[in-house]
Structure 1
Amino acid sequence: MYPSGPWRGFWEQLGWGRQFMRELVLNFSDGQVTGSGVDVVGRFTFLGQYDEAGNVVLVKKYAGKHQVLYRGQYDGEGTIAGRWSILDLWTGPFALRPDHSAQVEDIEAVEILPGSSGHREEMDRAGLGADREPVVAGGPGQLTDA
């Protein structure tokens, strides 16, 4: 359900506003969650559990500091959204989502030569069907140096 790897996230607290988590990595395996990151408070680790329905419970522990309880649910679009709390004293919303921008896909390079045999097949394989005009830096039909 949840992918292991880089994630993005934030938490909000009255007086602090929205605080983003950086260097956030979460690992999901057999109902267990582990992870780490850093935010305005400092470096932290995550340890917790998730179930098949997408419910997640995490304990965020800051090195040498306090712990924060996170309870969230799958929103149907890949995000874990919920509320964090420190005892019964402080609480606020949070959201975590996979960082797809950090993942690199291998894309096959295809040389496309006009007039060569199989030109249409090469265009189709490259996702540039004959009915699509390539978009280059200056816009459709405008070739510019990028």
Structure 2
Amino acid sequence: MLKINKNKEETETHQFLPSGEWEGFYCYNKSSEQHKMEINLVFKKGIISGNGTDDIASYTWKGNYCLKTFKVAMIKRYATHQIKYNGDIDEQGIWGVWENIVQMPPGIDAALFERMKAGFRDTMIGGFHIWPKKTATNSEKNKAEEKLTKSKKLKRLVKMRSLKEIVINSI
């Protein structure tokens, strides 16, 4: 995996694009099945770089981002093929669409090649969503909040309040 440069002056400071560990999924067209991705990304001066793994193989990322339009364009490179990613940046991460980059082999008729691509269309395009991986402190905070909402004392207080409201409303 890529080693992340911890020098914050060099990497992007926008809260939506923290350099480091990211996670997410991609889906094939017409399928809701999520294929998980684990990624290390560096955002620096409009350039995205990094690497990761998914259920296909390991890969590298290269691309660009723009904080004026909140758009990204990236290429995911496996040893055997490349995938083009285009997406939008927001507080939930990066969302968008991907497309398998297939170049026409020499000597193949262009019309035939396009018909062949159309036959595999649903396996050559899809959607994706990636987001910064939650840190241990965020996970601990979420567990504490969950524990609070599942608290027996809190449930009793809510029950007592409900009983009190019933009594008051019946008077």
Category of TM-score, reference length = shorter chain = 0.5 to 0.7
**Is 2:106 the partner of 1:93?**
no
Separation in 1, partners of 2:153, 2:50: 44
Q: Report the secondary structure of 2:91's partner residue.
A: coil
Counterpart in the other structure of 1:80: 94
Q: Quick one: percent identity of the two aligned structures?
A: 28
| Structure 2: runs of 5+ lacking an equivalent | 1-13, 103-116, 118-123, 139-147, 155-171
Q: Which has the higher helix share?
A: 2
The structure, 1 or 2, with the larger RCO (C-alpha pairs under 8 Å, 6+ apart) is 2
Which residue, 24, 31, 37 being the options, matches 1:21?
A: 37
Question: What is the alpha-carbon distance in structure 2 between the residues aligned to residue 39 and residue 84 of structure 1?
Answer: 15
Q: Residue 140 of structure 1: SS of its match in structure 2?
A: helix
- Taking a change above 3 Å as real, the CA distance of residues 69 and 15 of structure 1, as seen in their structure-2 partners, is same
When the two chains are superposed, the root-mean-square deviation of aligned CA atoms in Å is: 2.8
Task: Specify whether residues 103 and 87 from structure 1 end up closer, same or farther in structure 2 by C-alpha distance, changes over 3 A only.
Answer: same
Which consecutive aligned stretches of 4+ in structure 1 deviate over 6 angstroms post-superposition? none
Aligned equivalent of 2:55: 40
Aligned pair count reads 111
List gaps (5 residues or longer) in structure 1: 106-134, 142-146
Tell me how far apart the structure 2 counterparts of residues 46 and 103 of structure 1 sit (CA, whole Å).
Answer: 25
Aligned residue identity for 2:83: V
CA displacement, residues 62-106 of structure 1 (integer Å, 9 cap, x when unaligned):
1x21000000011x3232110000137411010111112x3548x
When normalised by structure 2's length, the TM-score is 0.56
Q: Is contact 2:29–2:127 with CA below 8 Å preserved after alignment?
A: no
CA distance in 2, matches of 1:29, 1:83: 22
Cα distance in structure 2, aligned partners of 1:40 and 1:73: 24
Q: 1:4 aligns with which of 16, 19, 22?
A: 19
CA displacement at 1:61 relative to structure 2: 0.4
Contact 2:95–2:129 (Cα < 8 Å) also in 1: yes
TM-score, normalised to structure 1, is 0.65
Post-superposition offset of 1:138: 6.4
1:140 deviates by: 3.5
